[in-house]
């Protein structure tokens, strides 16, 4: 790595020496102060016995080391994390086709395109709890969804309780979150040089091979990044399951943010919930970094496409 | 390019303006000096049913308080009990926040357990007008015992049933049921065609445990005995079975009810084709009057005789409702405690209480005020319920116990839709509930 | 072949269009097409239907009464515009919208710009710790909000208690919090986009003796407008829809639209019907500014490199 950069430095000349690293300070300062410091505080909280009884004088709360962590493992946290992760991965995978299709469809101008683009954004713009309320009303046992299904002769299921609730959560999340992939893919499509289009036209490529072999590779970077961030967002999404199912939630959708929220804000067991959140953070960060490395998303690619 | 730069300039200018306006937006209430010029911050629940009347009441009491003490009252509203709990947590941990809290009765034990609220000794009770001022039952959840009370009763929101007067009359029922068995019989008589006898909200997060609590307490099991949870008990089991039985075996409830929240059950009852609405309070009056059932409904006391019996056993308690309403608590980090207690006194005076009732429909906790409302026949059952309310166990673990009891119902819903909850399944869930309730009690300090 | 025989309109591109391209516009228009027309129509219609069906329910519900919505009606039995007038008094929606617009707009701009600057340094220069920072930024995004709430509140209120800086309850505090939470994401969006930008332009600028900042604002920002708009949108929405932090960091005067909206969803135990119809109306009103803003800025989503000027 150093070998490469030295060569590059030598190649690029003197300007590379004037690294304006000071430009990193504003962002870095903000993030250190408002994210890292509270994070350290949260780690401290996970090591003490902080609940409603000790909240008043939290600095004096007894230090109990890793006891919160052991309790976290015994309290059903691993299962919740598993539910969260599988929910997140499936949701992301399902939203990708929709997002890319939408980006591709709105890339070329047509009358009313601006409106269509705005319509596509609606699920993402609506606040989570409104989306959840609407879907919860529609998915009632005697709600509109089951009524429509009955009209076509399909027996409506119990959407909001029992095993089906897991798939309901995925369904609603897909509806609400696909515009995210759409937006990222759209931005990615803009970086396709005009000449690329012309070159493939000259080559006489049909739309399908052109799309899959020429255009889509440009989307790789943005879409893979979008997948990563979308998965993270799904894993940490608390509002949707909370408003859709309420607390306590059916066992099959007891996702990790729910269990952390209920422990912290309803059970008032801050130490335990901090430990839970940190455990889940670690369990998620490790595959995350593996994903990053595997896709080399963080590696310095040479700029420009020829 | 120029446009972009202009935008940046405007943005920076905007930021500078905001920063300049920073000083105006401080949330301070730290006031040194005399009585006048101070601000009292009161946290109270938002009211979406009567927002304008509520704000008008806030203004009138703020004006009166200013005239009396010179201090300004600023009201802050919270949306749900959870939001209030979050606010309590952040205020307790930072030592700054509202001076007076209007805390729901079910949350009062949790608030008490933080140790951040002022305990009322005799002197302070006198400051707020004396204990005799209040309906005796409402004092039941002010604290774990007489010496350690933090809550001053503010309003009363007891739970009652509602029934369709027309449907009951048509079925030949002369007066609403007074025992759970009788309720079931009535409901069976009233269920025919597209009509149902009972509206119940199985998927509500707050309703189910109240039924179980009521039936258990009436049969002699207070659910918490000192530091022991008594959820794994035949009495509790029968309570759940009765509750589930309405929709599975008796079939007096619309099958869709397993997906209903309380408001959906009310909406159903408001359509006029249901005999009884199993659990509601005066806050539903507006919704009922907006519906088809207008003029044909009335409140009734919840049954006070446990299921399977014709009269209450000796150990049973006549619990017509959980002790429900709001208490006023004063934060002990507050710099304005004397002012706060003066405010509490004003808020619990007979006139203020009656004004509040007229504005938003919550029953007064002030005994004299409640007395004047007794004459209203519509309110008589509710006033009775207020007087016959019994407090839920006063422990910091109650929130967890409540969750555990609700969880039994949540996990049973798939079985309810299939038609029955077997004893084995119920016992398994009761065992889980017992475990989590007991561990919560063990942690309570 | 003149421009007037173009079969379909070419999208409005950023100003730096080269004359040469106009000559080949017909062929270019055809070449740029990604999907055949019928497929395009099918995809667009399906996606729109998918989005609009529940949205239609929201619109219908906002025109219904609270009781009607609570009893599960789809098509209102009685249409009424009541909700639209009531929402302004039930909760302080107007103040909420104003505060949200102010804070979120600033957050969007600040986050996009700061993200661009940070991304530029991370993409164009090598230094020790670069990879760690990049990975760290992703890691920061995986931190759940519920973990951070109490510590961030403690931090802000300590600033108030010990430094005399009132942060809790001000719009400024909210702005700082949202900006910081949006930064890792904005930075990464810009990183991904900037990586694809050819270096030749910057080289040319540097050859002319331009400072880094000039290069940034004169060359990089115009070229990466699509990504800047996207990261701005996300930052805006992060602040717009957040309820958790807004509810603890604001006072009634500084509350955001999200907090006001959650007041509509208020449920009281055992009684009042939540004002469903008003919730829907308020939700639509709250979504409107964002959609309008998007409509205004979405034309910047076309252009960038396709505007030419590379050679």
For the stretch C244-291, pLDDT in tens is 889 888 888 888 988 888 887 766 555 667 788 888 898 889 888 888
The CA-based angle A128-A275-A259, given to 5 degrees, is: 40
Higher-confidence residue: A9 or B168?
A: B168
pLDDT for the residue numbered C31: 63
- Domain annotation covers residue C108: yes
For the stretch B126-138, pLDDT in tens is 999 999 999 999 9
Q: How many CA atoms lie within 13 A of B434 on its CB side?
A: 15
Scored b (16 or more CB within 10 A) or e, B222-261 reads bbbeeeebbbbbebbbbbbbbbbbbbbebbbbbebbbbbb
- Whether C147 shows a pLDDT value over 50: the answer reads yes
Higher-confidence residue: A81 or B7?
A: A81
In the structure encoding, which two tokens stand for residue B378, read together? Answer: 């519509």
pLDDT band per the 50, 70, 90 thresholds, residue C307: very low
Higher-confidence residue: B214 or B261?
A: B214
Distance (Å, rounded) from C-alpha A170 to C-alpha B149?
47
Distance (Å, rounded) from C-alpha C168 to C-alpha C156?
6
Q: Find the CB nearest B417 among A55, A143, A158.
A: A158
- Domain annotation covers residue C75: no
Using DSSP, state whether C106 is helix, strand or coil.
Answer: helix
pTM confidence score: 0.83
H or E segment to which residue B76 belongs: strand B72-78
- Domain annotation covers residue C59: no
Window from A90-99, A101-110, B142-151 with minimum mean pLDDT: A101-110
Average pLDDT for C130-148: 85
CA-based nearest distance B163→chain A, Å = 23
- Domain annotation covers residue A245: yes
Higher-confidence residue: B20 or B416?
A: B416
Residue identified by tokens 């006391």 is B301
- Whether B194 shows a pLDDT value over 80: the answer reads yes
Q: What is the mean pLDDT of chain A?
A: 83
Average pLDDT for C227-239: 88
Check CB contact under 8 Å for B417 and A249. no
Q: Which residues in A lie closer than 8 A to residue B403 (C-beta atoms)?
A: 247-248, 262, 266-267
Q: Which chains touch A (3 or more CB pairs under 8 A)?
A: B, C
Using alpha carbons, list the distances in angstroms from residue C100 to A233, C178, C190, C260: 22, 11, 25, 10
pLDDT for the residue numbered B2: 52
| Residue from B168, B153, B235, B228 nearest B442 by CA | B228
Check CB contact under 8 Å for C169 and B15. no
| Residue from B89, B71, B78 nearest B29 by CA | B71
Rg (CA), chain A: 24
Counting every residue written for chain A, the total comes to 306
Q: Find the CB nearest A232 among C47, C141, C280.
A: C141
What CATH number does residue A225 fall under? 1.10.3720.10
pLDDT for the residue numbered B128: 92
- Whether A151 shows a pLDDT value over 90: the answer reads no
Distance (Å, rounded) from C-alpha A264 to C-alpha A272?
8
What CATH number does residue C179 fall under? 1.10.3720.10
The answer, for C142 touching chain A at a CB cutoff of 8 Å, is yes
H or E segment to which residue C294 belongs: helix C276-297
- Domain annotation covers residue A21: no
Residue identified by tokens 């421009």 is C3
Q: Which residues in B lie closer than 8 A to residue C275 (C-beta atoms)?
A: 48-49
- CB proximity list for B262: less than 8 A, separation 6 or greater: B201, B204, B206, B207, B279, B280, C267, C269, C270, C271
Under 8 Å between Cβ of B75 and B58: yes
Check CB contact under 8 Å for A141 and B417. yes
- Domain annotation covers residue C215: yes
For the stretch B304-323, pLDDT in tens is 999 998 899 999 999 999 99
In the structure encoding, which two tokens stand for residue B394, read together? Answer: 């006063």
For the stretch A222-272, pLDDT in tens is 888 889 889 988 998 888 998 888 878 888 899 999 899 888 888 888 999
Residue identified by tokens 């209120």 is C157
pLDDT for the residue numbered C47: 93
The CA-based angle C9-C13-C17, given to 5 degrees, is: 110
Dihedral pair phi/psi, residue B70, rounded to 5° = 85, -5
- Quote the percentage of chain B above a pLDDT of 70: 92
- Domain annotation covers residue C102: yes
User: What domain range is A285 assigned to?
Assistant: 48-294
CA dihedral C301, C305, C307, C311 (to 10 degrees): 170
Q: What is the DSSP string of C18-30?
A: -HHHHHTHHHHHH
pLDDT band per the 50, 70, 90 thresholds, residue B202: very high
Higher-confidence residue: A135 or A8?
A: A135
- Whether C198 shows a pLDDT value over 60: the answer reads yes
Distance (Å, rounded) from C-alpha B419 to C-alpha C84?
42
* Count of Cβ atoms closer than 10 Å to residue A236 Cβ: 24
CA-based nearest distance C253→chain A, Å = 21
Dihedral pair phi/psi, residue A98, rounded to 5° = -60, -45
- Domain annotation covers residue C72: no
Distance (Å, rounded) from C-alpha B158 to C-alpha B164?
19
The CA-based angle C133-C134-C135, given to 5 degrees, is: 95
Q: Which chains touch C (3 or more CB pairs under 8 A)?
A: A, B
- Domain annotation covers residue A60: yes
**Alpha helices, DSSP H, located in B220-304:** 234-248, 262-270, 285-290
Total domain count, chain C: 1
Using DSSP, state whether B100 is helix, strand or coil.
Answer: strand
In the structure encoding, which two tokens stand for residue C277, read together? Answer: 């119809």
Check CB contact under 8 Å for B413 and A141. no
Distance (Å, rounded) from C-alpha A170 to C-alpha A244?
12
Q: Which residues in A lie closer than 8 A to residue B110 (C-beta atoms)?
A: 52, 268
Q: Which residues in C lie closer than 8 A to residue A238 (C-beta atoms)?
A: 144-146
Distance (Å, rounded) from C-alpha B140 to C-alpha B131?
12
Average pLDDT for B112-117: 92
Distance (Å, rounded) from C-alpha C111 to C-alpha C120?
14
Q: What is the mean pLDDT of chain B?
A: 88
For the stretch B48-65, pLDDT in tens is 888 899 999 999 999 999
Q: Is the peptide bond before B394 cis (omega within 30 degrees of 0)?
A: no
Which one of B1, B7, B27 makes the best mutation probe of the C interface by having the most chain C beta carbons within 10 Å?
A: B27
Distance (Å, rounded) from C-alpha A250 to C-alpha B413?
9
- CB proximity list for C157: less than 8 A, separation 6 or greater: B90, B93, B94, B95, B96, C167, C168
Window from A213-222, B13-22, B108-117, B398-407 with minimum mean pLDDT: B13-22
Total domain count, chain A: 1
- Domain annotation covers residue C4: no
Q: Which residues in C lie closer than 8 A to residue B361 (C-beta atoms)?
A: none
User: What domain range is C110 assigned to?
Assistant: 15-32+90-306
pLDDT for the residue numbered A8: 45
| Residue from C154, C86, C310 nearest B93 by CA | C154
Beta bridge partners of B363: B156
3-state secondary structure chain A: CHHHHHHHHHHHCHHHHCCCHHHHHHHHHHHHHHHHHHHHHHHHHHCECCECCCCCCHHHCCECCCHHHHHHHHCCHHHHHHHHHHHHHHHHHHHHHHHHHHHHHCCCCCCCHHHHHHHHHHHHHCCHHHHHHHHHHHCCCCCHHHHHHHHCCCCCCCCCCCCHHHHHHHHHHHHHHHHHHHHHHHHHHCCCCHHHHHHHHHCCCCHHHHHHHHHHHHHHHHHHHHHHHHHHHHHHCCHHHHHHHCCCCCHHHCCHHHHHHHHHHHCCEHHHHHHHHHHHHHHHHHHHHHHHHHHCCCCCCCCCCC
pLDDT for the residue numbered B217: 95
């Amino acid at each position: 790595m150093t070998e490469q950069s030295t060569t590059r430095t030598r190649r690029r000349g003197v300007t590379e020496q004037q690294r304006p690293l000071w430009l990193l300070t504003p962002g870095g300062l903000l993030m250190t102060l408002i994210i890292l410091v509270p994070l350290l505080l949260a780690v401290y909280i996970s090591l003490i016995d902080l609940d409603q009884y000790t909240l008043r004088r939290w600095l004096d709360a007894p230090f109990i080391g890793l006891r919160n962590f052991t309790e976290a493992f015994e309290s059903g946290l691993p299962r919740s994390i598993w539910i969260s992760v599988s929910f997140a991965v499936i949701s992301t995978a399902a939203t990708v086709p929709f997002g890319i299709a939408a980006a591709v469809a709105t890339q070329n101008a047509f009358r009313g395109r601006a409106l269509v683009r705005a319509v596509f954004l609606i699920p993402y713009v609506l606040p989570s709890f409104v989306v959840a309320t609407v879907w919860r009303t529609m998915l009632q046992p005697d709600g509109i969804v089951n009524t429509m299904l009955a009209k076509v002769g399909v027996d409506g299921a119990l959407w909001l309780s029992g095993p089906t609730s897991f798939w309901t959560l995925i369904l609603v999340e897909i509806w609400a979150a696909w515009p995210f992939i759409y937006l990222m893919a759209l931005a990615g499509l803009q970086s396709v040089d005009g000449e690329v289009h012309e070159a493939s036209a000259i080559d006489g490529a049909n739309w399908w091979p052109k799309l899959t072999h020429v255009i889509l590779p440009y989307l790789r970077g943005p879409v893979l990044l979008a997948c990563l961030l979308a998965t993270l967002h799904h894993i940490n999404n608390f509002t949707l399951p909370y408003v859709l199912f309420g607390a306590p939630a059916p066992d099959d959708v007891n996702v990790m943010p729910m269990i952390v929220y209920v422990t912290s804000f309803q059970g008032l067991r801050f130490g335990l919930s901090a430990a839970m959140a940190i455990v889940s953070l670690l369990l998620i960060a490790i595959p995350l970094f593996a994903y990053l490395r595997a896709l080399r998303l963080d590696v310095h690619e040479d700029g420009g496409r020829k | 390019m120029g446009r972009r730069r202009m935008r940046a300039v405007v943005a920076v200018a905007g930021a500078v303006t905001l920063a300049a306006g920073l000083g105006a937006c401080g949330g301070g209430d730290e006031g040194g000096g005399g009585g006048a010029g101070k601000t009292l911050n009161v946290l109270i629940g938002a009211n979406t049913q009567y927002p304008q009347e509520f704000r008008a009441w806030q203004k009138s009491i703020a004006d009166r308080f200013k005239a009396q003490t010179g201090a300004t009252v600023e009201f802050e509203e919270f949306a749900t009990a959870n939001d209030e709990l979050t606010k309590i947590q952040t205020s307790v941990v930072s030592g700054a926040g509202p001076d007076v809290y209007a805390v729901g009765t079910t949350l009062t034990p949790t608030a008490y357990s933080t140790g951040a609220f002022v305990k009322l000794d005799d002197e302070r009770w006198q400051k707020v007008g004396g204990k005799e001022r209040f309906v005796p039952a409402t004092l039941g959840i002010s604290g774990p015992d007489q010496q350690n009370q933090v809550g001053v009763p503010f309003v009363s929101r007891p739970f009652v049933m509602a029934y369709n007067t027309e449907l009951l009359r048509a079925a030949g029922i002369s007066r609403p049921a007074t025992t759970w068995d009788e309720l079931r019989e009535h409901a069976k008589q009233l269920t025919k065609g597209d009509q149902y006898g009972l509206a119940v909200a199985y998927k509500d997060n707050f309703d189910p445990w109240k039924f179980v609590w009521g039936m258990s307490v009436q049969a002699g099991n207070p659910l918490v005995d000192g530091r022991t949870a008594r959820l794994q008990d035949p009495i509790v089991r029968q309570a759940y079975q009765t509750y589930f039985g309405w929709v599975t075996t008796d079939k007096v409830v619309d099958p869709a009810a397993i997906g209903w929240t309380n408001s959906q059950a009310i909406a159903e009852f408001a359509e006029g084709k249901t005999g009884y609405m199993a659990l509601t309070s005066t806050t539903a009056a507006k919704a009922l009057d907006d519906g088809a059932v207008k003029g044909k409904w009335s409140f009734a006391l919840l049954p006070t005789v446990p299921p399977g019996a014709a009269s209450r056993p000796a150990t049973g308690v006549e619990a017509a409702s959980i002790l429900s309403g709001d208490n006023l608590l004063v934060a002990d980090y507050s710099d304005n405690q004397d002012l706060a207690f003066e405010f509490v006194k004003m808020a619990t005076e007979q006139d203020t209480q009656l004004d509040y009732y007229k504005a938003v429909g919550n029953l007064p906790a002030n005994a004299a005020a409640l007395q004047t409302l007794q004459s209203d026949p519509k309110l008589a059952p509710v006033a009775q319920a207020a007087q016959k309310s019994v407090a839920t166990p006063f422990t910091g673990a109650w929130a967890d116990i409540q969750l555990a009891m609700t969880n039994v119902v949540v996990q049973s819903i798939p079985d309810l839709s299939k038609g029955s909850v077997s004893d084995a399944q119920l016992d398994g869930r009761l065992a889980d509930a017992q475990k989590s309730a007991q561990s919560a009690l063990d942690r309570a300090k | 072949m003149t421009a007037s025989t173009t079969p379909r309109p070419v999208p409005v591109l950023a100003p730096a269009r080269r004359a040469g391209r106009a000559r080949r516009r017909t062929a270019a228009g055809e070449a740029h097409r990604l999907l055949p027309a019928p497929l395009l129509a099918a995809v667009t219609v399906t996606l729109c239907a998918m989005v609009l069906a529940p949205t239609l329910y929201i619109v219908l519900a906002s025109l219904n009464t609270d009781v009607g919505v609570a009893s599960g009606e789809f098509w209102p039995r009685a249409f009424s515009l009541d909700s639209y007038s009531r929402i302004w008094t039930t909760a302080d929606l107007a103040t909420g919208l104003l505060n949200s617009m102010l804070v979120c707009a600033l957050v969007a701009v600040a986050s996009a710009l700061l993200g661009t600057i940070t991304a530029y340094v991370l993409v164009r220069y090598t230094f020790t710790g670069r990879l760690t920072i990049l990975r760290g930024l992703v890691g920061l995004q995986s931190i759940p909000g519920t973990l951070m709430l109490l510590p961030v509140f403690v931090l802000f209120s300590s600033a108030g208690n010990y430094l005399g800086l009132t942060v809790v309850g001000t719009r400024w505090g909210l702005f700082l919090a949202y900006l910081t939470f949006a930064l890792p994401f904005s930075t990464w969006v810009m990183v991904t986009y900037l990586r694809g930008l050819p270096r030749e332009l910057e080289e040319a600028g540097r050859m002319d003796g331009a400072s880094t900042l000039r290069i940034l604002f004169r060359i990089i920002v115009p070229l990466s407008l699509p990504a800047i708009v996207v990261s701005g949108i996300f930052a805006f929405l992060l602040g717009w829809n957040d309820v958790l932090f807004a509810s603890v960091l604001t006072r009634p005067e500084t509350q955001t639209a999200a907090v006001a909206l959650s007041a509509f969803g208020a449920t009281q135990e055992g009684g009042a019907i939540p004002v469903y119809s008003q919730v829907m109306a308020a939700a639509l009103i709250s979504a409107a500014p964002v959609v309008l803003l998007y409509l205004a800025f979405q034309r910047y989503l076309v252009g960038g490199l396709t505007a030419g000027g590379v050679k």
